[in-house]
A and B are shown apart, each in its own frame.
Chain A
Amino acid sequence: MKINLLKYIKITSFLVALLLNIHSNAQESDASNYNMSFEFKTVKQHDNSRLLEASFTGKNKEDRKDVIPMFDAEIKFFNVLNEDEVLLGAAKTSQAGIAQITLPENQKYLTDEDGNINLVARFEGNVNVEESSAEIVVKNIYLELNLEEIDSVKTVLVSAFTIDELGDKIPLEEEIDIVLYVQGMLSKMKIAEGSISEGAYEFEFPTDLPGDVKGDVTVFSIIEGHEEYGTVIQKKNAKWGVFQQQIKKTKNTLWSSAAPIWMYVVLTILLVGVWANYIYTIINLFIIRKEGKDLELETES
């Protein structure tokens, strides 16, 4: 892994050098070995904001497995309609070659008569790397997720709709795939796959899923990479998890709350030994006292 990272750092640095337009013939000839690849996707997030993400990589012409990210390249994002082009924002690629911007829920888009939004991500190029761009067309769709107990059955209710010009919800007519997940510690765990039909989907939540310490679970409903709507995510929390306390057998160690057994044993032996001797001494003192008293009585009588 370390070797791979080192490899990436070297090549990425080399590409950065290209982007910064360092004059070197050797490097230019090396860059020519790579085809620039530009991927663009959009994710509608749970708060109805829209994430635009462009991935900019170089693929080796000879070795297809050799894919390297483009670092520090400025990517501009546009909303295009016919000849109109509105700049939505710009971001530089990360070390993984990814540039992202997030558009708020109330972002106004240029749409055609079918409600399609045309989005473009573009790298404008420099002397060494040519211009690249990618385009996607999505429709704005809304997902609503409700977690309700219906007749004591924990039920996940998903509805998908669009909003018309008057602001009314129009249920989705076509059938589209949806996946349900719950959030785990490191990643999401798939719990159901289904289809939204007539704008709704219903699922009975399992009763044996563990939640966090408080018993909370986070449920995700996701339309994944749909060609018309892109990726749409919705999530909600509910106290539906079963908190399973892990019962760990505690060991008696120097650093645990209970000390090693031998420590108790040694300390007890030492203390019992010493205190037994104190008691023995005191008993003897009482015997001496009694003898003294008897002697006194004898003398007096």
Chain B
Amino acid sequence: MNIDTRKRELVKELSPMLEKSSLLSKIWIAALISIILVGLYAFVLQLANGHEVTGMRDNVVWGIYIVNFIFFVCLSYSGAFIAGVLHFFETPLKNSIARIVEITTVLSLIIGPVFILLCIGRLDRLYYLFLYPRIQSPISWDIIAILTDLIGCFVYLYLTFIPDLAILRDASKENAEVPNWRKKMYRFLAIGYQGTPSQHKRLHKIIRIMSVMIIAMAIVAYSVLAWIFSLTVQPGWNSTIFAPYFIISGLYSGIAVIIIAMYIIRKFYKLEKYITKIHFFAGGVMLLIISLLYGYFTFSEYFSRWFSHKKHDVDLLNTLFSRYFWQFIFANYFGILMPIAILFFKKLRTVKLVTIAAIISVLGIWLNKYLIVVPTLETPYLPIQDTRAEFVHYTATWVEWSLSLTGIAAFCLFFTLILKFVPAIPMSGIIDLEKGKQSKREKNNPIVTEF
């Protein structure tokens, strides 16, 4: 196999998605920008009028912003975890989905913490957190963990991009259609990578070390996020299994979002050749295993609360089974059992059904996080008395929904823009895989030279 020829072939095959913008993609980007603009208006309103425009009040000081924060950050950690595992164990499936996982990781880690900022009433005092940090506080740990993880994920994402950036740099040299700024950008970011054996070896070594590190960091950061809740004595939060529960639920949502992203990218960019049914099958099996674990943890969590019969836990469960009955049923029954029911049968593990199971999982997990945050705050140890119902209970306003949608739209927009810069399928990974296969073949069937 001639590597240079193969590189050119791959560039020819995958670069149209970088160079051309279809009408559909233009409409898609315009729609996303429109959602973001509405969100910006909502943000200005919130900035001008304060949290009065949200549903957050004295009792429920955390609303869907925090739910989104947990969701996105968990998504990021699970992305980091999965990306690390894919690279470390050099799984053959990694070539098609690794980039999707890595981009998901970094983008969700950028968007997630923005929701925390939206939740803070006095943003002007934010710097106090850095000037007077209390190292004993899980909030401080979370900030340290998120910042460190964000940098780590950026570095990791960049490392995995380097060989492809080098391929694109070389390919764009003689291509007049590629604009100059893009050529310069590829040249700058490829840092002179030529794919020599020593460069290849060195890059793979640091990627491998980083992959181990981000697995460890993801576990630490997941746990810290869970401890923000479980280290308080609030009913519904004070739980010893919250850290592993968050890890499992994060992986559940992470795998589900990756499956959805795989489906959209495969369909949109027509990548059926690279993202195959096997990927969905494997993703479905992974989702099934994690959904069983997640269901087990969810059951353990609520069962122990119900059985202990502590007054405030009973109050919380009463709230969950009265005011939040349907949400609870959807999140913790439908959202877990339905994906299990679909994915349990081999015949049902088709591309579409696995994606549907993933969508149900994502909705269920978001609702599960909502039910962790809001009902607990609605049933405090010292209830507010003689006040209006809207001060006791929480209902998200259009401002909060708009800003939440803005987060999702920003995630999709940045994802789309990154895929305009590098292909969704890592070309270097495919070449490495093919090289590996070839050398294996040569080992098994050595060329015999006759004299």
Q: Is A186 among interface residues, defined by CB-CB distance under 8 A? A: no
Determine if A289 and B192 form an interchain contact, defined as CB atoms under 8 angstroms apart.
Answer: yes
Chain A positions within 8 Å of B134 at CB level: 259
5 tightest A-B CB contacts, nearest first: A292-B192, A289-B191, A259-B135, A259-B136, A284-B206
Determine if A281 and B210 form an interchain contact, defined as CB atoms under 8 angstroms apart.
Answer: yes
Q: Is B3 among interface residues, defined by CB-CB distance under 8 A? A: no
Residues facing A in B211-265 (CB within 8 A) are 213, 217, 220
Residue count of chain B within 8 Å CB distance of chain A: 27
Residues facing A in B356-411 (CB within 8 A) are none
- The CA of A282 and the CA of B156, in the complex, are separated in Å by 11
Determine if B192 and A288 form an interchain contact, defined as CB atoms under 8 angstroms apart.
Answer: yes
- The CA of A280 and the CA of B209, in the complex, are separated in Å by 10
Chain A positions within 8 Å of B199 at CB level: 288, 291-292
Nearest opposing residue in chain B for A286, CB measure: B191
Determine if B193 and A288 form an interchain contact, defined as CB atoms under 8 angstroms apart.
Answer: yes
A264-290 CB mask vs B (1 if < 8 Å, else 0) is 100100110011011011101101111
Within the complex, the shortest CB–CB distance from B87 to chain A, in Å, comes to 14
Determine if A281 and B206 form an interchain contact, defined as CB atoms under 8 angstroms apart.
Answer: yes
Determine if B191 and A285 form an interchain contact, defined as CB atoms under 8 angstroms apart.
Answer: yes
Residues facing A in B173-212 (CB within 8 A) are 191-194, 196, 198-199, 202-203, 205-206, 209-210
Chain B positions within 8 Å of A168 at CB level: none
29 contacts between A and B (CB under 8 A): A254-B136, A255-B136, A259-B136, A260-B136, A263-B135, A267-B135, A274-B152, A274-B213, A277-B213, A278-B155, A280-B209, A281-B159, A281-B210, A284-B202, A284-B203, A287-B202, A288-B162, A288-B192, A288-B203, A289-B191, A289-B192, A290-B192, A291-B199, A292-B191, A292-B192, A292-B193, A293-B192, A295-B192, A296-B192
Choose among A264, A284, A285, A288 the residue that contacts B135 (Cβ–Cβ < 8 A).
Answer: A264
- The CA of A230 and the CA of B100, in the complex, are separated in Å by 94
Chain B positions within 8 Å of A263 at CB level: 135-136
B55-76 CB mask vs A (1 if < 8 Å, else 0) is 0000000000000000000000
Chain A positions within 8 Å of B159 at CB level: 281, 285
Residues facing A in B127-166 (CB within 8 A) are 134-136, 141, 144, 148, 151-152, 155, 159, 162
Chain B residues within 8 Å of A, Cβ to Cβ: 134-136, 141, 144, 148, 151-152, 155, 159, 162, 191-194, 196, 198-199, 202-203, 205-206, 209-210, 213, 217, 220
Nearest opposing residue in chain A for B213, CB measure: A277
Residue count of chain A within 8 Å CB distance of chain B: 27
- The CA of A62 and the CA of B341, in the complex, are separated in Å by 87
Kindly count the residue-residue contacts between A and B in the assembled complex, taking CB atoms under 8 Å apart.
67
Determine if A274 and B192 form an interchain contact, defined as CB atoms under 8 angstroms apart.
Answer: no
A239-264 CB mask vs B (1 if < 8 Å, else 0) is 00000000000000011000110011
- The CA of A176 and the CA of B134, in the complex, are separated in Å by 62
Nearest opposing residue in chain A for B200, CB measure: A288
- The CA of A254 and the CA of B141, in the complex, are separated in Å by 14
Report whether over half of chain B's contact residues are helix, strand or loop; otherwise say mixed. helix
Chain A positions within 8 Å of B162 at CB level: 288
Nearest opposing residue in chain B for A254, CB measure: B136
Nearest opposing residue in chain B for A287, CB measure: B202
Chain B positions within 8 Å of A290 at CB level: 192
- The CA of A280 and the CA of B207, in the complex, are separated in Å by 11
Chain A residues within 8 Å of B, Cβ to Cβ: 254-255, 259-260, 263-264, 267, 270-271, 274-275, 277-278, 280-282, 284-285, 287-293, 295-296
Chain A positions within 8 Å of B148 at CB level: 271, 274-275
Determine if B136 and A288 form an interchain contact, defined as CB atoms under 8 angstroms apart.
Answer: no
- The CA of A63 and the CA of B136, in the complex, are separated in Å by 61
Nearest opposing residue in chain B for A299, CB measure: B194
Chain A positions within 8 Å of B135 at CB level: 259, 263-264, 267
- The CA of A264 and the CA of B134, in the complex, are separated in Å by 11
Determine if B192 and A278 form an interchain contact, defined as CB atoms under 8 angstroms apart.
Answer: no
Choose among B193, B196, B198, B217 the residue that contacts A274 (Cβ–Cβ < 8 A).
Answer: B217
Chain B positions within 8 Å of A259 at CB level: 134-136
Determine if A280 and B192 form an interchain contact, defined as CB atoms under 8 angstroms apart.
Answer: no
Nearest opposing residue in chain B for A295, CB measure: B194
Known: A274-B217, A281-B159. A295 touches B196 (CB 8 A): yes
- The CA of A1 and the CA of B268, in the complex, are separated in Å by 83
Within the complex, the shortest CB–CB distance from B200 to chain A, in Å, comes to 10
Determine if A292 and B194 form an interchain contact, defined as CB atoms under 8 angstroms apart.
Answer: yes
Determine if B220 and A288 form an interchain contact, defined as CB atoms under 8 angstroms apart.
Answer: no
Known: A259-B136, A288-B199, A295-B196. A277 touches B209 (CB 8 A): yes
- The CA of A259 and the CA of B217, in the complex, are separated in Å by 23
Chain B positions within 8 Å of A270 at CB level: 220
Determine if B136 and A281 form an interchain contact, defined as CB atoms under 8 angstroms apart.
Answer: no
Nearest opposing residue in chain A for B207, CB measure: A281
- The CA of A288 and the CA of B151, in the complex, are separated in Å by 20
- The CA of A295 and the CA of B199, in the complex, are separated in Å by 11
- The CA of A295 and the CA of B193, in the complex, are separated in Å by 10
Determine if A271 and B196 form an interchain contact, defined as CB atoms under 8 angstroms apart.
Answer: no
Chain A positions within 8 Å of B220 at CB level: 270
| Of listed A255, A288, A293, A295, residue having the most chain B CB within 10 A | A288
- The CA of A31 and the CA of B199, in the complex, are separated in Å by 106
- The CA of A282 and the CA of B203, in the complex, are separated in Å by 11
Chain B positions within 8 Å of A254 at CB level: 136
Within the complex, the shortest CB–CB distance from A297 to chain B, in Å, comes to 10
Within the complex, the shortest CB–CB distance from A152 to chain B, in Å, comes to 45
Chain A positions within 8 Å of B192 at CB level: 288-293, 295-296
Within the complex, the shortest CB–CB distance from B382 to chain A, in Å, comes to 21
Chain B positions within 8 Å of A287 at CB level: 202
